Amino acid sequence: MRGQSNPTTSQVLARAWTMQEESLLGTAEDREVARRLGCSRQAVTVRRHRLRIPPFHRRAWSPSEDELLGRMPDKRLARRLNRSLGSVRWRRHVKGIRIFNPQKHHWTREDDKLLGLRPDAQIAKLLRISLWAVTKRRLRLGIPPPGRVELVRPRPWQAKEDALLGIGADDEVARKLGRSVASVRRRRNQLGIPSQVRRWTVQEKALVGKWPDSEVARRLAYTVKAVTRQRERMGIRAYGKR
C-alpha cells in the first residue's frame, strides 16, 4: 500500500543519533536496541555497521575486566578486551563507574598495596598519575614512605578536650592539651565552634603600655598574656621600663 512502504536506506542514514543512543549499539541484539530506542531494527543495524560495532555476543564480564572500567578511556579498554565500545560504555554505566578522567585516579586495592613499598615518584610513573596524587593518597591512609617509621596517628579527641575549644586562643588551648595549633584549629572548625579571639581596636591599642599589663588586662577584660603579646607585637616596652 502507498504510504506504508519501509524506510529507504537514505532515510535510515539520515536519522540523527545521540551519543547515548550510540552507546547502546552492540550491547544487545539489534532488535532489542531498536525496541528501546523506538526505531526500526534496520536503522540500528545500519548505524552499528557504519560505526564498525560488532553484533552483540553474550560474553560474561570477569572481575578482572570490571576492575579496568574507568581506569582508561572506554575506546582503549574496548580494544584491550576485544569488546565493542558500546559494550564497555554500557557495562561501566551499569556498574556505576564514572568515565575515565586522567586528572582523577580511581584507586584500587592493588594500587594501595604499592604505597610505601616504592618511592611515590615511581608509583606515579607506573600508574600514570601525578606525584601529588600518590603522596596525598599515602598520607590519607597513614602509610609511611619507604625506609621510614610508621606515621603516628593523632590520638582521638575526648569530650573534655572539645569543651575547651573556643574558650581561649587556639595556641593557648593547644598548649593545655599538648596538641598542635593546626590540630586544635581544624577540630574547632569541624565542630563549627567560632574562635573567641577578639580583635584589638584602635582605642584598646592606645591603652597598651600606659599601665602595667595586668591593669590593661583588667580594664579591657583580656588575659595578661594577651596584653603582653600585643604590646610586644607593637614594639612597646613594659610600663615602668622605659
Predicted local confidence at residue 80, as pLDDT:
87
Cell of 1: 500500500
- Do both 20 and 89 map to the same domain? yes
Task: Establish how many alpha carbons lie within 13 A of residue 21's alpha carbon, considering only the half-sphere containing its beta carbon.
Answer: 15
Element (H, E) at 68: helix 63-68
Same domain, 116 and 141: yes
Mean pLDDT of 164-186: 82
1 within some domain:
no
In a domain, 221, yes or no: yes
Q: Identify whether residues 40 and 76 lie together within a single domain.
A: yes
Same domain, 172 and 217: no
| Residues 25-33, mean pLDDT to the nearest whole number | 83
Length of the chain: 242
The answer to whether residues 194 and 168 touch, using CB atoms and an 8 Å cutoff, is: no
CA distance 99 to 23: 13
Copy the grid coordinates of residue 154.
593523632
Which residue do the cell numbers 617509621 mark?
149
Which of 105, 145, 150 shows the shortest CA–CA distance to 122?
145
Count: domains in the chain: 4
Is 207 found in the same domain as 144?
no
Asked if residue 100 is part of any domain, the answer here is no
- 239 found inside a domain: no
Domain co-membership, 118 together with 51: no
Under 8 Å CB-to-CB from 126, ≥6 apart: which residues? 114, 118
Q: Which of 37-41, 42-46, 188-192 has the lowest mean pLDDT?
A: 188-192
Residue 29: what residue type?
E
Residue 108: φ, ψ to 5°: -115, 170
Residue 3 above 50 pLDDT?
Answer: no
The one-letter code for the residue type at 183 is: S
Neighbours of 176 (CB within 10 A): 13
Are 89 and 144 in the same domain?
no
pLDDT band at residue 14, thresholds of 50, 70 and 90? low
16 and 87 share one domain: yes
Nearest to 144 by CA among 167, 169, 118, 164: 118
Which domain covers residue 118, as residue numbers? 106-151
Cα 221–Cα 225–Cα 226 angle in degrees, nearest 5 = 55
Q: Is residue 122 part of a domain?
A: yes
User: Span 41-60, mean pLDDT?
Assistant: 84
Q: What is the pLDDT of residue 74?
A: 85
So what's the pLDDT on residue 101?
A: 66
Could you tell me what percent of the chain has a pLDDT over 90? 2
